[in-house]
Amino acid sequence: MCGRLDQNHTAIEYVAAMHWRGPAPRVATQAAPSYNAPPGTWRPLMRVVDEQLVVEDAFWGYRASWAAAKLPVSINARLEKITNNYWARLLKSGRAIVPADGWYEWTGEKGKKQPWHIHLKTREPLFIAAIGACGKEREQPAESGFVIITADAEGGMVDVHDRRPIVFSAQDAALWLDPDLSAQQAEQLARSVALGPDAFEWHPVAREVGRASNEGAHLAAQLDLLA
């Protein structure tokens, strides 16, 4: 599960961390940096359009137009299912990257849930694998939105959650975006080179992050549970 993001840097700063080697990137995002970005909002998303890296705002959430009366809006897609009929088209031509500084997960019982901030040990930006129908304006935002791809946490992160987003290095993120990469190759890339649990660390944060309207650096700051 990945249901809340820390995206506290600007799109230009994320582009710099990407070390893009192609034509000069185009940054066309109006979304403000956020320490508490929820699904159902417009967030910066990286795509490749005509060999150019483009960063535009996209709606976090996807549902195919034909599924409006059948399925809820999805915010994540399981790696194990991205080749099925629902996701395969997006895997082929709708690959994207969500740049971020971390994400949040919750543990514990309902009413007493403890949020955790998960990030790279290096504290460098994350490049999270996504797929979507972005770039095509639709009447319903979710019809042209995106989802984050998640995989099994492989034990190392299971104390916080049994699922984790697929996170790439900058180099592998660029490869994921390459339109010449087939859907089969993209799936294999996600399975084989995604950063493992040992690349991450996490700390508890204030429960204020649970309210999507709350904002500020204090939301990502480490909380002393013994205090």
Q: Catalytic site residue 51?
A: no
Residues 6+ apart with CB under 8 A from 162: 152, 153
Residues 6+ apart with CB under 8 A from 192: none
Nearest to 91 by CA among 223, 168, 192, 181: 181
HSE on the CB side for 220, CA within 13 Å?
20
* Residue 90 and residue 63 in contact, taking contact as beta carbons nearer than 8 Å: no
Q: Catalytic site residue 2?
A: yes
> Which amino acid, residue 89?
R
190: its two tokens: 């996600």
Residues 6+ apart with CB under 8 A from 218: 206, 208
Identified catalytic residue from 56, 105, 143, 187: 105
Q: How far apart are the first and last CA of the chain?
A: 29
Distance of CA 35 to the CA centre of its chain: 14
Distance of CA 224 to the CA centre of its chain: 27
Active centre residues (catalytic): 2, 105
